[in-house]
Structure 1
Amino acid sequence: MTARPILETRSETADPSWWGAILVGAIFIFAGLFVLGDVVAATVISAVLIGILLVVAGASEVFQAFSAQHWRGFILRLLVGLLYAVCGLMLISDPARGSLILTFVFALSLIASGFVRIFQAMQYWEWFGSLLLISGIVGIVAGLVILAKWPVSGMWVLGLLVGIDLMLHGVWWISLGGRLRQEKSPVPE
């Protein structure tokens, strides 16, 4: 038994985390709408940011190759690090062309993962395999639609997906805030 008073419950005045969650959700939704206002710019900015991350990852991999205590795998780590860095620099230097390539690879990934999900749906049918089947079909169709509109789709797909993701994440935060506001149970320890 705990020594906590029985009256200590989550309420609007005692626990302001519900409005913080709603505020974060509203910010995410606003950011998503802002991104959706210019998906081409968002796509280019996303390509530059991915490029920066690849350069950092590449530099880290090269550093790791030289700082490892043993030389086993040195050449492979060095090559992977250099490949990351070169791809990152290519994205930074020409984000429009990089967006086209990223979108093409993304579409192929959607199609491949869709087929894997369909195969897994058959294996795990008892565990909501029908939802996995639908997810796989949607992935394949989405990949084919992106490829059908490529290379034009390369200039807007990434920005559109970032905007939608931000908005959905915002809706989740607002839902969480609403749930926290309604909940009157004791604060968990």
Structure 2
Amino acid sequence: MTDMSDEMPSSSSLRSKWVWFVVLGALLIVFGAIAAANVVLATVVSVYYVGLLMLVGGIVYLAHAFQVREWEQLLFWALSGVLYVLAGVFAFMNPILASAALTLLLAMALLVAGVFRVFVGWRMRPSKGWGWVLASGLITALAGFVIVLGWPVNSLWILGLFLACDLLLQGWSMLAFGLAIRR
């Protein structure tokens, strides 16, 4: 078993790269601001990104299908590949409808994750901090519920908003990290 300190870069090697973290953070903040300025365009870009991943994944599945020798497995892998390719093509052909489907999936995932977290938080009740887990679950479930209430209209901007928030948060964290290790 290896020691975790062997895998982590030393603080001096990180300190010498602080500028890269600051530049990365600044770029992510700029991209996040661009996405926040036009959340509809950011939604379409994120749908194209997901569509591209599905298209490439489908092609890989199809290539893999023909490496399998048994007919039953070949059929399964080929069908999986075709479905992925079709979903990827669908995302490129109609990104607005695809964003509606992805937004609904996101809302359902938030609802389910929130309910599970509430359950876990409630079960942790005798332990210290159980309320934080419960509150986190309630907020997550509420976010999913709010998205469902506004669906399908909010699907034009919700994915772009999530992308913008993620880029901005990652940018600020990289910038802060870079400045912190500089000292």
TM-score between both structures, scaled by the size of structure 2: 0.85
CA-to-aligned-CA distance 1:2-58 (integer Å, 9 cap, x gap): xxxxxxx949xx953112211111111111001101000110111111111101111
If you compute each CA radius of gyration, which structure gives the higher value, 1 or 2? 1
1:138 is aligned to 139
CA–CA distance in 2 between the matches of 1:10 and 1:52? 39
Residue type of the alignment partner of 1:64:
H
1:63 is aligned to 63
1:186 is aligned to none
RMSD: 2.1
CA–CA distance in 2 between the matches of 1:75 and 1:113? 33
Which is richer in helix? 2
Secondary structure at 2:151 match in 1: coil
Secondary structure at 1:73 match in 2: helix
2:25 is aligned to 25
Count of aligned residue pairs for this structure pair? 172
2:7 is aligned to none
Q: Which runs of 5+ in 2 are unaligned?
A: 1-10
Residue type of the alignment partner of 1:156:
W
Secondary structure at 1:67 match in 2: coil
TM-score between both structures, scaled by the size of structure 1: 0.83
CA-to-aligned-CA distance 1:123-178 (integer Å, 9 cap, x gap): 44537433322221111111111111111100000000000000000111012112
Which contiguous aligned blocks of 4+ residues in structure 1 show a shift greater than 6 angstroms? none
CA–CA distance in 2 between the matches of 1:151 and 1:15? 47
1:129 is aligned to 130
Deviates further, 59-68 or 73-82 = 73-82
Deviates further, 22-31 or 131-140 = 131-140
1:48 is aligned to 48
